[in-house]
C-alpha cells in the first residue's frame, strides 16, 4: 500500500472515530435533554392545575376544574388521565367522569410507588417536594409516565394531583424530534467527512510530493543517469536531504566518469602492446609455415622442432586474440554504458550484410559440419543503419549459435520485414526483424533475460566442442547495446536442449 493511501486512511480513520464518539455522546445528551424538557414542561402544567384545584377546593366548585382538565386532555393526546383528590382522598376532578366523588384508599394514592418501574429523581424546582415524584409505572396494562404532586396551603396538604402520560405517545414524540436531530447531524457529518477526505488527500500530497521527487530521482540514478539533481527550495530536513542526495549523485557521476576513463585508458594501453605481440606472432607463424614447407620439419632449435614451435606460437596467438577480443568488448560495453556509442548510419543492403556475416563463419561451420542458411521471408532491401555495428552484432549472435550448437546442427538466419498493416501498399516498413535460429543446447527459462547482462554466462553448458571458446559474457551485452542504440529490441526464445532463437528488430526503415 502506498504511503499516500496510508496517510489518507489514517487521517480518515482518526477523524471518523472522533466523529462517531462526538455524535454518539451528543445524541445521547440530546435524548436526555428531551426527557428533561418533557418533565419540566409538565411540572409547569401540574402547577397550573394545582392552582386551579386550590381555588376549586376553596370554592367547593369543581365543575370548572373538570372542564379545565378535559380541555387539557383534548389538547394533548399524550395525557391518559388527570386526577385531583382532596385531602380526604376523594376524587374531586377526573378526566374519567365515572371516577368523580369516589374515595380512593389513601394507600392506593400514596402507595403508587410500589408498582413504579423506575423513579426518576427530579431536581427541577424547589416547589416539588420529596413526595412529588415523576416515575414510570403500569396502570391498566399500559406503560405510563406518571406525575404526582401535592398542593399545600399553609403547610397543609389540600390536594393531590396525579397525571398519567402514555409512554407510547411520549416516546413517539421524542423519537420524532430525535430523528430530526440525527438527520441534521448526519448531513453535517457528511459535509465534514468530505472536508476530511479532501484534507487528508491534501496532506498526503504534501508529504508524498517529496517522496515522489526522490524516488523519481533515485530511479534515474539507478538507471545510470548519474547527473540527476533534485531541486527542493526548502530549508527544512527535506532541503538538506536533497542537498545530500545531490552530493551523492555528483560523487557517483565522478566515480562513474573515473571508471569509464580508467577502462578506456587501460584498454588503450593494453591494446597497443597486444597488437604488437599479435602482429609479430602473425609474422613468425607465417614464416615458420613457409620454412616448414621448404625445409625439414624436424629442424630443431634447442630441443624444439619447427612444428612444435609452430604449435606453441599458435597457442600464444590464440590467447592474445582472446585477450584482444575481451578488451574490445569491454571497451564497447563501457562505450555503450556511458551512452557514447556513435552510430555512423548509411543505407545498407541488409541481405548482403547478412550474407557477408554468414560467409565469415564458413570455415567454422564446416569444421563442425553445421549447415548454415539464410531465409528471406520478406525482401527488406536497404535500411538505414551503422553497417559495422550491425555486422558486429550479427557476428556475435552467429558466433554464439555456432559455439552452442553441436556437430551436425543447423543454423538459420531469417530475415523478415514487419509492416504496419496499412502501410504495406506504400512500401513502407515499420521495422525489419532478423532471427538467428540454432539447434544447439538451448537455454533455461530463468536465464533468458540475464544472458544479456554483461559478464553473464550460463554455467554447466556442457562440452560442445573440444577446444571450447570460453567467451567473455560480453557478446550479448554489446549486441543489446547496439540494437538499442538503433532503437530496436533484442530477445531470445528457447527450448532447453533443443535450440535457441535470438531475435532483433531495427525500426523505421525504408524499402527501396
Partner 1 sequence: MSKKYKILVVDDEQDFVDLIRIVLEKASYQVFSASNGEHCLEIVRVEKPDLVVLDLNLPNMDGHEVCRKIREKFSFKDIAVLMLTVRTLEHDFVSGFGCGSDDYMGKPFEPKELLARIKNLLRQAGKLAVE
Ligand X SMILES: Nc1ncnc2c1ncn2[C@@H]1O[C@H](COP(=O)(O)OP(=O)(O)O)[C@@H](O)[C@H]1O
Residues in contact with partner 1 by the rule CB under 8 A: 271-280, 282-283, 286, 324, 328, 342, 344, 386, 388-389, 391-392
Start-to-end C-alpha separation, the chain: 54
Other beta carbons less than 10 A from residue 265's beta carbon? 10
Characterize the bridge pairing of strands 346-349 and 499-507. Answer: unpaired
For residue 388, the partner it binds in Mg ion, partner 1, ligand X, none, with Cβ less than 5 to 8 A by kind, is: partner 1
Report helix, strand or coil for 247: helix
Tell me how far, at minimum, the Cβ of 325 lies from ligand X, in Å. 9
Q: Which cell numbers in the block locate residue 393?
A: 552484432
Q: Which cell numbers in the block locate residue 25?
A: 455522546
Tell me how far, at minimum, the Cβ of 478 lies from Mg ion, in Å. 9
For residue 457, the partner it binds in partner 1, Mg ion, ligand X, none, with Cβ less than 5 to 8 A by kind, is: ligand X
404, 441 in Cβ contact below 8 A? yes
Distance CA 413, CA 403 (A): 15
Smaller CB distance to partner 1: residue 328 or 501? 328
Smaller CB distance to Mg ion: residue 65 or 331? 331
For residue 168, the partner it binds in Mg ion, ligand X, partner 1, none, with Cβ less than 5 to 8 A by kind, is: none
Residues that bind ligand X (CB under 6 A): 396, 400-401, 404, 438, 440-443, 451, 456-458, 461, 471-477, 500
With CB under 5 A as the contact rule, the residue among 42, 400, 431, 500 that binds Mg ion is 400
Distance CA 399, CA 363 (A): 12
Smaller CB distance to ligand X: residue 150 or 494? 494
Place of cell 532483433: 504
Cβ partners under 8 Å of residue 120, min gap 6: 39, 134, 135, 136
For residue 440, the partner it binds in partner 1, ligand X, Mg ion, none, with Cβ less than 5 to 8 A by kind, is: ligand X
Smaller CB distance to Mg ion: residue 471 or 488? 471
Give the burial string for 352-369 (b: 16+ CB within 10 Å, else e). Answer: ebbeebbeebeeebeebe
Written as one string, the DSSP assignment of 61-88 is --HHHHHHHHHHHHH-TTEEEEEEEETT
**Binding window for Mg ion (CB under 5 A); candidates: 107-115, 187-195, 386-394, 395-403:** 395-403
Tell me how far, at minimum, the Cβ of 199 lies from ligand X, in Å. 55
For residue 271, the partner it binds in ligand X, partner 1, Mg ion, none, with Cβ less than 5 to 8 A by kind, is: partner 1
Smaller CB distance to ligand X: residue 134 or 452? 452
For residue 458, the partner it binds in ligand X, partner 1, Mg ion, none, with Cβ less than 5 to 8 A by kind, is: ligand X
Amino acid at each position: 500500500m502506498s504511503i499516500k493511501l496510508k496517510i489518507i486512511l489514517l487521517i480518515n480513520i482518526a477523524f471518523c472515530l472522533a466523529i462517531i464518539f462526538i455524535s454518539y455522546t451528543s445524541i445521547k445528551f440530546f435524548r436526555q435533554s428531551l426527557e428533561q424538557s418533557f418533565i419540566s414542561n409538565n411540572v409547569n402544567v401540574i402547577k397550573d392545575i394545582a392552582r386551579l384545584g386550590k381555588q376549586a377546593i376553596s370554592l367547593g366548585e369543581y365543575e370548572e376544574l373538570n372542564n379545565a382538565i378535559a380541555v387539557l386532555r383534548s389538547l394533548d393526546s399524550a395525557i391518559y388521565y388527570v386526577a385531583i383528590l382532596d385531602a380526604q382522598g376523594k376524587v374531586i376532578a377526573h378526566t374519567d367522569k365515572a371516577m368523580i366523588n369516589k374515595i380512593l384508599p389513601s394507600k392506593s394514592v400514596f402507595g403508587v410507588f410500589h408498582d413504579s418501574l423506575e423513579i426518576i429523581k427530579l431536581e427541577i424546582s424547589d416547589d416539588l417536594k420529596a413526595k412529588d415524584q415523576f416515575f414510570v409505572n403500569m396502570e391498566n396494562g399500559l406503560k405510563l409516565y406518571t406525575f404526582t404532586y401535592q398542593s399545600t396551603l399553609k403547610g397543609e396538604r389540600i390536594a393531590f394531583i396525579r397525571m398519567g402520560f402514555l409512554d407510547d405517545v411520549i416516546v413517539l414524540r421524542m423519537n420524532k424530534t430525535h430523528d430530526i436531530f440525527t438527520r441534521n447531524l448526519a448531513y453535517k457529518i457528511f459535509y465534514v467527512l468530505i472536508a476530511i477526505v479532501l484534507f487528508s488527500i491534501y496532506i498526503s500530497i504534501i508529504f508524498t510530493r517529496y517522496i515522489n521527487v526522490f524516488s523519481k530521482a533515485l530511479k534515474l540514478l539507478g538507471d545510470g543517469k548519474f547527473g540527476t539533481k533534485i531541486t527542493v527550495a526548502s530549508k527544512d530536513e527535506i532541503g538538506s536531504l536533497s542537498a545530500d542526495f545531490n552530493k551523492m549523485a555528483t560523487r557517483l557521476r565522478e566515480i562513474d566518469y573515473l571508471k569509464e576513463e580508467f577502462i578506456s585508458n587501460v584498454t588503450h594501453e593494453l591494446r597497443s602492446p597486444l597488437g604488437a605481440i599479435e602482429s609479430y606472432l602473425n609474422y613468425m607463424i607465417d614464416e615458420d609455415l613457409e620454412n616448414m614447407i621448404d625445409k625439414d620439419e624436424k629442424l630443431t632449435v634447442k630441443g624444439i622442432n619447427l612444428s612444435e614451435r609452430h604449435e606453441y606460437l599458435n597457442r600464444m596467438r590464440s590467447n592474445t586474440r582472446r585477450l584482444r577480443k575481451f578488451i574490445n568488448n569491454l571497451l564497447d560495453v563501457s562505450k555503450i554504458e556511458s551512452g557514447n556509442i556513435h552510430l555512423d548510419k548509411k543505407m545498407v543492403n541488409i541481405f548482403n550484410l547478412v550474407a557477408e556475416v554468414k560467409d565469415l563463419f564458413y570455415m567454422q561451420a564446416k569444421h563442425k559440419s553445421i549447415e548454415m542458411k539464410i531465409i528471406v521471408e520478406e525482401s527488406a532491401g536497404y535500411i538505414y543503419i551503422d553497417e559495422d555495428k550491425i555486422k558486429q552484432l550479427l557476428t556475435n549472435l552467429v558466433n554464439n549459435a555456432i559455439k552452442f550448437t553441436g556437430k551436425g546442427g543447423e543454423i538459420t538466419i531469417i530475415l523478415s520485414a514487419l509492416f504496419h498493416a496499412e502501410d504495406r501498399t506504400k512500401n513502407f516498413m515499420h521495422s525489419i526483424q532478423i532471427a538467428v535460429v540454432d539447434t544447439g543446447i538451448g537455454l533455461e527459462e530463468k536465464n533468458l533475460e540475464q544472458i544479456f547482462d554483461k559478464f553473464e554466462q550460463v554455467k554447466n553448458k556442457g562440452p560442445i566442442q573440444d577446444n571450447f571458446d570460453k567467451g567473455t559474457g560480453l557478446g550479448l551485452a554489446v549486441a543489446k547495446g547496439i540494437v538499442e542504440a538503433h532503437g530496436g529490441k533484442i530477445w531470445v526464445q528457447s527450448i532447453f536442449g533443443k535450440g535457441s532463437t535470438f531475435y532483433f528488430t531495427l525500426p523505421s526503415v525504408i524499402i527501396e
